[in-house]
Chain A
Amino acid sequence: MKVKSPLEIYKLLPGTNCGECGFDTCMSFAAHILDRSAKIEDCKPLIEQAKKNDKAAEKLKKLIEITAPEVDEVVIGKDLKIGGKEVLHRHELTFFNPTALFFDVCDTMDEKTIDERCSRVVEYKKFYVGKYLTLDGIAVRCTSNNPDQFAEVAKKVAGYGKPIILVSLNAECMEKALKAVGSDKPLIYAATPENWMDFLKLAKKYSVPVVVRSKDLNMLKSLAATFKAHKISVVLDPVTEPAGKGLQRTFERVIQIRRTAILGQDKDINCPIMVTPIAAWTVEGDDIGKMYWETVIAALFIVKYGDIMIIHSVEPHTIMPLVTLRENIYTDPRTPVQVEPGLKAINNPDKNSPVLITTNFALTYYTVESDLQSSGASGWLLVLDTEGLGVEVSVAGGQFAPEKVKQLMEETKIAEKVNHRYLVIPGLAARLQGALEDETGWKILVGPTDSGRLKAWLEQNWPPGSGVEVKQ
């Protein structure tokens, strides 16, 4: 955003410190606006005043203007937001609005295929760090060149409830589809140097966001400026050329657009960028090669400035790496990915339950926790403060230290909670076995290197074998 100091925002707020926004003072609210952890609408008094008097309205307008993100935020469907970026490198703040992943169907596919693909998009979920990663929407392509058929399939796809992109360069087809699903606020693809006038009218008539498409960046900018002048939300497609020199040029176009928008303050092309990895399927080659290459293109532009994508492969083995990468790139680097160290009781453990230890790196913790939960086994899980590092790194780096383990065991009084003296450590911490036994006086059992195998491991190794007293 334009402003760099909370003071500039503060000056435009009511200044009453009423606390309605959820912050104690207007100044504190201003600071949260600045790092985008609060929204202007949350200052109810200002919104109310603006309705009544012109001066307040003027202030509100100014406030919205100076706090607008560097890259426009565009809404598709009910509430899918894309764009809204502020920076070129994630450590400078964070990347907002993760790349929206859309998967295609075309209106010449049979009903069963369409249903399978749409259901995949709706149902897909991958557990990751305490939540599920999901997919965003469906792109309906007009391959029939028949307006009625396109509209019919669009209607059907809209029924799945996901945001949609309508894909056709034919204004007649597009209009028919918009008649059917325009109220769902689809993104329409695409206005080109040839058809833009018709698409501009359609976008206005149905008030939907539109993708403008051209390889020529002068033309792309002209189209964007023209549509923006008509108050239409714009997404840029600088055309994804899927391989060879063309892909190199695509990379250049995407980088130049985003860099010029943010550093060059070009307010014509500061729009979300669309990338179409699906284009990989039109290069000569076999399906496996295309599948790999499509995934590579998608990954490339998840890292570098792609705000929305159309992808063809709905195979879980290509989706999973992509949603994971997207999550990694869009994780807020300002919030440490750590959990509270301490002791967690999993599935109501008792005095005979195993004691296990892991790190406070959120990812490790949630992985172990969810594996234990879903295995049905109960246990005591010690969470060691490794400064948010995983097992392997913290063992090598010394954060997973025997003294710290001992301290944690004393603090949590784990010895009082169980009748045995066995501690299960991660397989990746095996080299600490001796040192840990010396330090804690407990018997150390080396668990599996991956907690996904904990269930089987516990079945075999718990309670510990003969000669071991697990007191009743």
Chain B
Amino acid sequence: MPEGKITLEDILKLLSKYEIKELEGVKIEGGDIEIEFEMGAYPNFQAIGMELGLAAYHLARVAMMLGFPVQQLFAQQQPAYPAQIPQVPTQLKEEEKIELIEKKFEPYRQEWSGYVEEVQLGATPKEGGTRKYTIKLGGEKSLPFYLFDAEQPHLPSISVDVFDRAVPLPKAIRTHYEDVMGHPDEWAKKVIKDFGADAVTIHLISTDPLLDDTPPHEAVKTVEEVLQAVKCPIIVGGSGNKEKDPVLLEKVAEVAEGERVLLASATLDTDWERVGRAAKEHGHCVLAWTQMDINSQRTLNRYLLKRIGLPRDSLVMDTTTAALGYGLDYAYTNMERARLAALKGDEDLAFPISSGTTNAWGAREAWMKESPLEGDYSWGMREHRGPLWEILTGLTLSLAGVDIFMMMHPVSVAVLKELIHTLGGKKKEVEYEDWITSEL
């Protein structure tokens, strides 16, 4: 990076020259020089404490997005690329005459009869809630990012996990949340403001009888606080206690009346009926969670829709996310099959999919300092390995059809978002060199 070579004034000058204020995904706030990139081509590595000379870095990104010849701007930093290879004259010494067989490529057209239901999370004041914006999930008419088959009305969203009490987290994640641990409202603000999350998932784990055993009527105060603190749609989960969660979620549904919260979750072995009814009565959505079994998912969805009469636009499913290396193959195939079934017209599975991508951190490769096995090659730098583990888990499932990710590491959030926007057609041309002859 050309650190110190470019001043902030230079940036401003350049920005105004290119009328940057109108550029999608870039916000410039007040007199402060605060350039925020929602869709930068690379994630915000400030989050992992890297000294990057951010201002110049951002400038380069902006300039490139505008087609500014960055290579010239930073000419002194550029590696010298070897000159173009001189073309070797084609010599036809042999008698044999070779001709190019000209062909036309005709892409195979694939059409689907089904589509994924559209589900809205959050409600604006006009819609009976207090959210500043809402998120729409689903609506796909093709496989994920197959924009050449059909447009994708809503790209996948990312929600970041927030806990209502201190929790043990892998070091790589903990460092980002130490200052807000135990303060779910501050935590929620942080993930929206600093980490670019679209939504927050607030886990009321303090209700766990083995932890604080917080009674439901008290635990839901946190939900009210978070609704005050942030203006994004929210998802609310319990502690995983089978008896208590449905009671808790019912209470959540009451206090968050009209906000179109996603209640996480209804499962076959808990009182799904209670969760489903609460959602229906107070205008929320339900996350239907099953354990990697397409038939159970179908059954649970059907129960919620048919027995309770939950509207089709209020159901999201979680077919279970397993970490990279720890069952991701099942998770991927299971989701892919569910999505293919939906596109082929299976209405019982035609719902947006949610992924608990944070599960990636359960893999020892994500957090352990080194391999515990003597025969293994070194596992490499933990501060990159962890985020990559989460990114690859999410990325893989994004290709199976996930509509909303629940994640934790800020770098993972930024990188996955970048990929989603790239494949989703939200990016501009980016300049690059030829790798074949470059020394890199």
Q: Which residues of A line the B interface, CB within 8 A?
A: 89-91, 106, 108, 123-128, 132, 141-143, 145, 167-172, 189-190, 194-198, 200-201, 217-218, 220-223, 225-226, 229-230, 241-248, 251-252, 255-256, 259-260, 263-264, 266, 268-269, 276, 278-279, 281-286, 288-289, 291-293, 295-296, 299-300, 303-304, 312, 315-322, 324-325, 327-329, 331, 333, 361, 363, 367, 370-371, 374-375, 389-390, 392-393, 396-398, 431, 450, 452-453, 455
Contact = CB atoms under 8 A, between A and B. Distances in A.
A427 to B, nearest CB: 11
B41 A243 contact: yes
B106 interface: yes
A379 to B, nearest CB: 16
B11 interface: no
A306 to B, nearest CB: 12
B177 interface: no
B107 A260 contact: yes
Given A296-B395, A325-B396, A320 B380 contact: yes
A317 B332 contact: no
A288 B431 CA distance: 18
> Which of A194, A329, A389, A397 is most buried by chain B, counting CB atoms within 10 A of its CB?
A397
B316 to A, nearest CB: 19
Contact of B85 (A169, A189, A247): A169
Nearest to B70: A284
* 5 nearest A-B pairs in the assembled complex, by CB-CB distance: A317-B380, A264-B108, A316-B380, A244-B430, A289-B42
B100 A226 contact: yes
13 contacts: A126-B371, A132-B375, A143-B438, A245-B427, A283-B41, A286-B50, A295-B388, A321-B392, A327-B325, A363-B327, A375-B372, A397-B291, A450-B368
Contacts of B146: 255
Interface string B34-72: 000000011101000010100001001100100000110
Interface stretch (B25-33, B88-96, B196-204, B280-288): B88-96
Contact of B365 (A194, A320, A390, A453): A320
Nearest to A282: B433
> Which of B269, B377, B438 is most buried by chain A, counting CB atoms within 10 A of its CB?
B377
B384 A317 contact: yes
B430 A318 contact: no
B373 A220 contact: no
Contact of A363 (B326, B415, B424, B430): B326
A145 B82 contact: yes
A128 B365 CA distance: 11
Contacts of A398: 269
Nearest to A291: B384
B432 A283 contact: yes
Contacts of A319: 380
B437 A263 contact: no
Contacts of B74: 284
Given A316-B380, A363-B326, A195 B88 contact: yes
B376 interface: yes
A194 B87 contact: yes
A283 B148 contact: no
B377 A243 contact: no
Contacts of B388: 292, 295, 317-318, 321
B437 A317 contact: no
Contacts of A196: 100
Interface stretch (B221-229, B333-341, B344-352): B333-341
Contact of B419 (A123, A296, A331, A397): A296
B333 A269 contact: no
B28 to A, nearest CB: 21
Contact of B385 (A264, A266, A321, A367): A321
Nearest to A128: B325
Given A320-B380, A333-B333, 20 more contacts: A124-B377, A141-B437, A143-B439, A145-B437, A218-B104, A222-B102, A223-B100, A226-B100, A242-B432, A248-B425, A269-B105, A276-B435, A282-B432, A282-B438, A283-B431, A285-B60, A293-B42, A300-B399, A393-B322, A397-B291
B42 A452 contact: no
A315 B399 contact: no
Contacts of B107: 217, 256, 259-260, 264
B329 A315 contact: no
A182 to B, nearest CB: 18
B340 A285 contact: no
B23 to A, nearest CB: 14
A266 B107 CA distance: 9
Contacts of A248: 145, 147, 422-425, 427
Contacts of A397: 291
B254 to A, nearest CB: 27
Contacts of B337: 89, 91
A393 B327 CA distance: 10
Contact of B326 (A200, A217, A278, A390): A390
B266 to A, nearest CB: 14
Contacts of B108: 256, 259-260, 263-264, 266
A244 B101 CA distance: 33
A108 B439 contact: yes
Nearest to B384: A317
Nearest to B291: A397
B383 to A, nearest CB: 9
B423 A251 contact: yes
B377 A125 contact: yes
Contacts of B92: 197
Contacts of B148: 252, 255-256
Nearest to A297: B419
Contacts of B419: 296, 300
B9 interface: no
B374 A374 contact: yes
B320 A393 contact: yes
> Which of A229, A243, A246 is most buried by chain B, counting CB atoms within 10 A of its CB?
A243
A320 B370 CA distance: 12
Given A223-B100, A316-B378, A452-B368, A329 B325 contact: no
Nearest to A449: B362
Contacts of B60: 284-285
B379 interface: yes
A320 B385 contact: yes
B82 A328 contact: no
B17 interface: no
Contacts of A171: 88
B68 to A, nearest CB: 11
Contacts of A300: 395, 399, 419
A396 B88 contact: no
Nearest to B53: A286
Contacts of A392: 362
Contacts of A108: 439
Contact of A252 (B147, B269, B373, B430): B147
B85 A329 contact: no
B182 interface: no
